[in-house]
Structure 1
Amino acid sequence: MSRTLRALLAGSALIVLASCAGMEATGPAPEAAPAASADYSQLIADLRTLSADDMEGRDTGAPGGERARAYIVGRLEALGIAAPPMGRLQPWEMQGRNREGPRTYNGVNVLAVIPGTRVTDRYIVITAHYDHVGIADGQIHNGADDNASGVATALEIATRLKAAPPEHSVIFAFLDGEERGLLGARHFVEAPPVPLSSIALNLNFDMTARAETDMKLWVTGTYQNPTLRPILEPVAAESGVALAFGKDTPEDTGANNWVEASDHAAFYRAGLPFLYLGVDYHPDYHRPTDDFDKVDPALFAAATELSWQSFLALDRGLDR
């Protein structure tokens, strides 16, 4: 999640927000989904690799960010997932900000596409930013939860969709420069690989691995897109991790409103349907202690499974 946008929101980003009043639990399980792999070894390996010290915090334009990008490209190529006609890489140059102030960043988004079987000309765009804040005050900020976790979740979904294609066509956009002002997402929307009118939904994963207590996977965006909530409400909890709806109403103020807190904001500003899935704040957010060893692999696997089931429900429920 973006430090710049968090700073614009009231309240400390380092305090776990405990109030979930008024949020509704999910309902009964939907019709059984296709059996998913019980082997999460690659999911965990992706998280470990992307949050390792040799990635140097994956800052935009830095060697660590380039290594993270090469790893993602390698994973997509190994899976045999095609690039869109515009190519695997989407480079950009944009004005952003760091702790010292404004500066120009050169970043690169990584793209992949899987054709749909039912609605081939409508796209679900799955996004996850692979950058983090790099090295600050001599300390590596590994960003295991923010957002190596979302990238690993998206790669797991890509793996499953390669084996069993979706109903809608799906674009995977592993975005750069989120921490510097949603730069990669903004460029994607400004220069999309398909017409914006053909994008049915942006599904954004940012911080999916951990929580301080009572882990929930929050769904932000159903207030703005109310037809999507009934599609997701039947999705059942997975091993102690459930969906929770909110952080998107006018009553959700300051740091408790996530409508523009991550890359989905660029789609929202363009008038496109969006949903954001992510966990709540924890004390290691944007600190050098956001490390792989803080993640409970079983909870992360459950959150990823819940993300997968949510995607399946949306893929089936859209454009009916």
Structure 2
Amino acid sequence: MRHLRLAALSPLAAALLLAACSTGEPAVAPSAPQPSAMHAQLLEDVRILAADEMQGRDTGAPGGALARAYIIGRLDALGVTAPPVGREQPWEMQGRTREGPKTFNGVNVLGVIPGTRVTDKYIVVTAHYDHVGVNDGQVFNGADDNASGVATMLALAADLKREAPEHSVLIVALDGEERGLLGARHFVEAPPVPLASIAMNLNFDMTARAETDGKLWVTGTYQHPTFRPLLEAVPANGAVALAFGKDTPQDTGDDNWVNSSDHAAFHRADVPFLYLGVNYHPDYHRPSDDFATITPSVFISATELSIASFRALDRGLNR
């Protein structure tokens, strides 16, 4: 268990913030890195986002702002441009806390990658970067929830910059998921592109700890059965394979994930969705959800499987 550090940023955190905000030399070389370098960057993204200096990345807190600056710096370094509405999408909404309702000021982070075949339709790739912050003096770092999903999304963005997608893609790091899907709700209420032009939402939330059952779960094919054949052909990667479910009327309680993360806001807005994530594990929503609990080989396999899944969907969608 860790205890809350001083609010002042450590030298490491200050250096990270300066690096993230820098417009100088990019942190990622423009030429395609070797797989080992790509894997190292994936793990480094999780390590940094789940560091104590981020103070649990709560919405509206200094740690959340530090995480946001890091993500913006990574997108800038990758050459992922901002859409016409800008890199940041601020919002103010009422959310939930343990003490009751509270008004939160959050910010979504946006990037766009043009498609080569269907330029006027978008796949919106989302991952929430917030977590629950500090509770009872303990930092909840949220390495799997959801520093992992953000790192997977950044790895996908890097892959799409090396080989352009067929559909245009919006890369969206959402804020306020833990407070009631606030950032996702604002996104669909004030989308940067018309909702009618969004072909689907692909949401990454908890992509690291697949060793629990060896599965990266795909939720949403019950609601959108045409997606399933596109993904059934995606082979397992290492010890991790796709599994379909947690989305039927027979899946109840914590075993039904249709409304469990940001994809629910898209679902309610009648936007097709799929959710990729691992099963619950003992560190879920505990201070012990740290970078050290992640098995690198398993997380790398799950991320490569996530990228392969995106490519299969991108190729298979007609519009």
State the TM-score, normalized to the length of structure 2.
0.88
Shift of 1:79: 1.1
Distance 1:155 1:226, change over 3 A: same
CA distance in structure 2 between the aligned counterparts of 1:165 and 1:153, rounded to whole angstroms: 17
Shift of 1:143: 0.1
**Alignment partner, residue 37 of structure 1:** 35
Shift of 1:229: 0.3
Shift of 1:213: 2.6
Note if contact 1:123-1:168 (Cα within 8 Å) is conserved in structure 2.
Answer: yes
Q: Does 1:290 align with 2:280?
A: no
Distance 1:137 1:174, change over 3 A: same
| Structure 1, gaps ≥5 residues long | 1-34
Shift of 1:215: 2.2
Distance 1:243 1:82, change over 3 A: same
CA distance in structure 1 between the aligned counterparts of 2:278 and 2:40, rounded to whole angstroms: 21
Shift of 1:95: 0.5
1:278-310 Cα deviation digits (max 9, x unpaired): 000001100000000000001000000000000
Amino acid at match of 1:228: F
**Count of aligned pairs:** 286
Amino acid at match of 2:315: R
Note if contact 1:55-1:68 (Cα within 8 Å) is conserved in structure 2.
Answer: yes
**Alignment partner, residue 9 of structure 1:** none
**Alignment partner, residue 277 of structure 2:** 278
**Alignment partner, residue 227 of structure 1:** 226
**Alignment partner, residue 137 of structure 2:** 138
1:200-259 Cα deviation digits (max 9, x unpaired): 010000000004532210000000000000000000000010000000000000110000
Note if contact 1:211-1:282 (Cα within 8 Å) is conserved in structure 2.
Answer: no
Give the percent of matched residue pairs that are identical in Structure 1 and Structure 2.
73
The equivalences for 1:187-202 within 5 A come to 187-202=186-201
* SS of equivalent to 1:219: strand
1:139-165 Cα deviation digits (max 9, x unpaired): 000000000000000000001111111
**Alignment partner, residue 14 of structure 1:** none
Amino acid at match of 1:101: G
The equivalences for 1:95-106 within 5 A come to 95-106=94-105
**Alignment partner, residue 82 of structure 2:** 83
CA distance in structure 2 between the aligned counterparts of 1:68 and 1:164, rounded to whole angstroms: 27
Shift of 1:37: 3.1
Shift of 1:38: 4.4
CA distance in structure 1 between the aligned counterparts of 2:34 and 2:230, rounded to whole angstroms: 20
Note if contact 1:81-1:114 (Cα within 8 Å) is conserved in structure 2.
Answer: yes
Note if contact 2:210-2:240 (Cα within 8 Å) is conserved in structure 1.
Answer: no
RMSD over aligned Cα atoms: 1.1
CA distance in structure 2 between the aligned counterparts of 1:36 and 1:229, rounded to whole angstroms: 31
CA distance in structure 1 between the aligned counterparts of 2:288 and 2:226, rounded to whole angstroms: 39
Q: Does 1:121 align with 2:120?
A: yes
CA distance in structure 2 between the aligned counterparts of 1:215 and 1:83, rounded to whole angstroms: 36
* SS of equivalent to 1:237: coil
* SS of equivalent to 1:109: strand
CA distance in structure 2 between the aligned counterparts of 1:252 and 1:36, rounded to whole angstroms: 41
CA distance in structure 2 between the aligned counterparts of 1:160 and 1:149, rounded to whole angstroms: 17
Choose between structure 1 and 2 for higher RCO, CA contacts under 8 A separated by at least 6 residues. Answer: 1
**Alignment partner, residue 155 of structure 1:** 154
The equivalences for 1:1-320 within 5 A come to 37-39=35-37, 40-211=39-210, 213-319=212-318
Shift of 1:319: 1.1
CA distance in structure 2 between the aligned counterparts of 1:157 and 1:224, rounded to whole angstroms: 25
Note if contact 2:120-2:197 (Cα within 8 Å) is conserved in structure 1.
Answer: yes
* SS of equivalent to 1:201: strand
* SS of equivalent to 2:212: coil
CA distance in structure 2 between the aligned counterparts of 1:151 and 1:105, rounded to whole angstroms: 21
CA distance in structure 1 between the aligned counterparts of 2:201 and 2:114, rounded to whole angstroms: 16
State the TM-score, normalized to the length of structure 1.
0.88
| Structure 2, gaps ≥5 residues long | 1-32
CA distance in structure 2 between the aligned counterparts of 1:297 and 1:84, rounded to whole angstroms: 33
CA distance in structure 1 between the aligned counterparts of 2:112 and 2:35, rounded to whole angstroms: 21
CA distance in structure 2 between the aligned counterparts of 1:235 and 1:165, rounded to whole angstroms: 20
